[in-house]
Amino acid sequence: MEPPLTNAGQLIQASTRFARRLLTIGENRFELLMVEVQEERERLLRAILLALGVAAFGLLAGVALTAVIVVLLWGLSPVAALLVLTGIYGATAVWLYRRLTRLLRDWQNLPATLDQLRKDRACLEKKLT
């Protein structure tokens, strides 16, 4: 039979259990963070590749459309045709810029990890008080 534990022994065991649980929670949160970082990296790479494809083919389509319009309207007024196309392209660029700034403003990095860490902190504060 084991001798009964003293208060110091119980305190040491409780501290050890608490430290193990804390390390386990930390390990779980770190794994969640790494999974989210990997997902964000893949999503960002996919977005960059798609954006490059859209930009390349959009540029090709824009050049072809511009050439067709200028050739068709060359007899009427080449300067007016180019000015109208410049206005359309400029307005599109401003619209895309505004969408990009809205996207960047609303961007959240690692939301699940941050949410879980907030829950952990609240639970820990609740247990300690």
Q: Supply the pLDDT for residue 9.
A: 78
Residue 11 predicted with pLDDT over 70: yes
Is the pLDDT reported for residue 3 higher than 60?
no
Whether residue 1 lies inside any domain: the answer is no
Domain count, the chain: 1
Q: What does the block give as tokens for 50?
A: 């798609």
Q: Residue 52 is part of which domain span?
A: 7-128
pLDDT tens, position by position, 62-96: 889 888 888 888 888 888 888 888 898 889 888 98
Looking at residues 9-19, what average pLDDT do you find?
Answer: 83
Q: Is residue 72 part of a domain?
A: yes
Reduce the secondary structure of 66-121 to three states and give it as a string: HHHHHHHHCCCCHHHHHHHHHHHHHHHHHHHHHHHHHHHHCCCCCHHHHHHHHHHH
pLDDT of residue 95: 92
pTM given for the model: 0.48
Amino acid (one-letter) located at 49: L
2: in domain? no
